[in-house]
Each structure stands twice: as structure tokens, then as C-alpha cells.
Structure 1
Amino acid sequence: MMLAAVSGLLSVAFGAFGAHGVSDPKAQEWLKTGAGYQAIHALATLACALFIAQGARGARFAPALFLGGTVLFSGSLYLMALGAPRWLGAVTPLGGLGFMAGWLVLAWSARTLRQDD
């Protein structure tokens, strides 16, 4: 949960930097996209705690996929916005795959939730 909170904090910081700290439109776009995806997946990581508390034990694997996806997806966009070589954009889809895998794990684990009658 601490990593999810830090990830949420960083998403706000990078989003604000994109809105107010850079003038290059492409860099602004990369920062906005990275921050948006990071914010969504920080919240999803927090939501995993609810799934786990409700009995969806498989959900414990989703946070690592969400946070790893954030490092690859958002991190590569942030680095390019800060001047890293554009070939780093080849890493971005790997982060997207991490996000999708996390959602798949979460969906699969939801089928084990306890049902109250």
C-alpha cells in the first residue's frame, strides 16, 4: 500500500510538471499520458487490498504487475520527456502488457470472491 501511495504521489508530481514545467508539446503529452496511467494503476493497486480482504487470494499478484507496468510504461515516457533517447519508447508497450496482465489476474481472482446470499 505504501508503494501505491508513493506511485500516486509521483503521478501528481509528473502530471504537474507536464502541465507547468515543460514547454515542448511532445514532452507534455508524454508526461500527461504517463501520469494518467500511473494514477489509475496506483488506485488499482490499492483496490487489490480490498479484493484480497474479500478472499480473492490470486489478487496478491496484481500489484506487482501494476507497479512493474508503471515503472516500464510511465517511467519510459517520463525519461523520454526529460531527454532520454526515443528508442526507450520500445519499452513502453512492455509496461502496457504488465498493466493488462495485472487486470487479467484481478479479473481471474475475482471469480473466487465470497458471495453473500
Structure 2
Amino acid sequence: MKLFFVLGCVNAFLSVALGAFGAHGLRQRVSPELLITWEKGVDYQMYHALALLLVALCIKTWPEVRRVRTAGLLFFVGIVLFSGSLYVLVLTQVTVLGLITPVGGISFLCGWCLLALCASQFDSRW
């Protein structure tokens, strides 16, 4: 539980910091299209930082369900691959990195499906 709570807090912090960097440090250095790409990475990082906090809560609620931890790992991998690839793409403008982004998106989708499956099996505890 503590791992996912800490990962959620760290990623929320990084999302705010990277958002500020994009707004103040990148605005004059990259095109408006690349700035939108940066912001998309920041948005999805924050959404899934909050998802990691939700996973921590679910682990406390359903400690016997290992799939909740797997969902958390999928969210974290998604942050690294999806948001991380967008950040590197903007900073380097190496467009081939865009091939990694959908893998991160699929990781997010799998994490949400797995978390929903866990909830559907233990809905009486809510």
C-alpha cells in the first residue's frame, strides 16, 4: 500500500513541476503543437498519479487481491511509457518515440479494466 501511495504522491508532484516547466520554460522554445503534446503528458501523468493513490486505498480495502497491485503497476508503467515518451519526444523532437506512447496508453487501459474487475468481485465492501 505504501509503495503505491508514495508513487502517486511523487508522480503528482512531478506532474505539477513538469506542467510549470512546460508553461514557463518551454513556451518560447517549442512549437504550440509540441507544447500541447507536453501538456497531454502532464495531464495523463496527474490522472494516473491519482489512480495510484486509489490503488493504495483499494489495497487497504482488498488486501487479499493481488490484481489490485498489478493494476497499480500497469498505471505506473503507463506513466513512464506514455507521459515519459511524450516528454522525451518534445525535448528531442525524435518522432519515432511516438511509437512507445500507445504502449503506455494500453497499459493505462489494462490497469483500469483490472481495477474494475477487482471492484466487481468485491463490491460488498464498498
C-alpha distance in 2 between matches for 1:90 and 1:110: 32
Aligned to 1:5: 9
Q: TM-score, normalised by structure 2?
A: 0.85
Q: Which runs of 5+ in 1 are unaligned?
A: none
Q: Match for 1:9: what amino acid?
A: F
Aligned to 1:91: 100
Alignment of 1:50 with 2:50, yes or no, is no
SS in 2 for 1:21: helix
Q: TM-score, normalised by structure 1?
A: 0.91
Runs (4+) of structure 1 exceeding 3 A deviation are none
Aligned to 1:17: 21
Residue identity (%) = 44
C-alpha distance in 2 between matches for 1:91 and 1:64: 17
Give CA deviations for 1:25-45 in whole Å, capped at 9, x if unaligned.
122111100000000000001
* Structure in which a larger fraction of residues adopt helix: 2
Number of aligned residue pairs: give it.
117
Measured after TM superposition, the shift of residue 114 of structure 1 is 5.3
Asked if 2 retains the 8 angstrom alpha-carbon contact of 1:59 and 1:106, the reply is yes
Q: Which runs of 5+ in 2 are unaligned?
A: none
SS in 1 for 2:92: coil
Q: What RMSD in Å do the two structures reach over aligned CA positions?
A: 1.7
